[in-house]
Chains A and B, each alone.
Chain A
């Protein structure tokens, strides 16, 4: 399955197992602009899979109402770039629903799915990575998968988590990432990072699309192509870099990250969102506090620039493999 198929598969499991579950958003009934809800309306009926008017604050407010009655509401925001009209409903309402009611009400049944990150030609409003804006919204969880298996397991866990979850799907992976996905109903843990490659010299932490750039950068580090080999000292080519997929942005897995950095002494964080006050800032500050005596180099952040995501300049905007390679080298030789 590719990622959109695995998401569709997860949604189908969620609807089968839970009669209260409904899916709604802009254009979801015909299958969604990214095909994630293909055939679900036909299979489960328009009462459970339906279009809404074009209003993001309405979609999230409506979803909160459904969830407040103990039902499962799976809302879609067509692009993460358009989640801001619902910011008030998410931050002031969904996140605070349980706390402010003394635990009497909650909207744990709410999951907001939304495509995120750059896609090659998305420009300002089809490329954004707004996860950092939600990192301070205590009460919601923010989850970002990297692949079809991850998307299915994490989405099912998000839908069933007793808290509202913003589930951000890297849209470039909808068709490009393909792997064997178990067809049964399974969940992957929220709040746990995943160590993809074990290492002892540097911790490379990322999530979503840049994970693939990180993998490329690691190959380049081990055997640099001739054009860049002069920038990669021989002595570093055998470096063992630990690659971690954070998976959950809020609450993030401090234990795994800190344990790793305490072993490696070096941390490079990669994300597509801009640098200033991005999720990397929070992680860097915490690691600096918890690993101060073990750090051999400053925490490096390789991110989008502090500009909007520009159309014709995207190749120079995103933290691609060469920037990551350079960051790893700089951190290793510090």
Chain B
């Protein structure tokens, strides 16, 4: 299953996809199979320097190339990364930097992260790939008990700050249980780790470069739906987006909307609908960083608007929205004019054919905003 799905995304399999189109009614029967539940909203061009229109997998690729170029003691590894990766993020890197710096590992996630921790212990920047965030759980012990606690338990004698873990996450239209998960909340409960989620190519490049240079072990969950869909004017140089800082994408005064990853685009679109249908202006915040998260930016906004809706793809119970909600309630109790709403995936595994009903799409977000405004 892992390979079959991967093939659907990989460029070099398009010819076989074409064959499929010609020879079967597969696509006409499942007309929705590649339709996504949101449209990508590109960033406004704010970067002063040179930029280039590229998609998110190319942005990841550029960041990796910059890191490998800058530090000769850095390596990129994981399952199938040598030929370019199942999402094309590592294309051309092996040819450019050699097989001893860009290499395939045996198929073992706990091995990949354990191996990465060891590399990082010895001062090598270890950029590990977990093929899908859904498959990060075999490495949960290595990440939670080892990577996160190494500096603490050794009194700062040893650390694995040079470890960065990349993992494609989130809904993709037809990924079902094991190609759709958003596991950020599991890791948000782990002191010692840093967790970030980019919403597009600019953030993917800037955050990945931050993660690689950050002195702590970092997880970057890349919403896989954005790899090819999201195209931005991405700065060509080596730049960083700070970990731990949220970004206000749209200013508003009626309600604060908080999301991250591809959900941000849904919130932006919903904000338009709210403006049009209800005449209210939403303040849209991309949280960007899950751990540590930017409490200040969020609470400041809520103090202004008095209302808040948090949205994420992951299930509701103990999702990261719970943490954000509880913190806002504590910090903004006197400013809140309505209960904090969370619009999330349901408390079920991520289903195949029911995906349109599972996701916190713009209509579910709109409904929650409307109810909050009318409270």
Partners in one complex: no
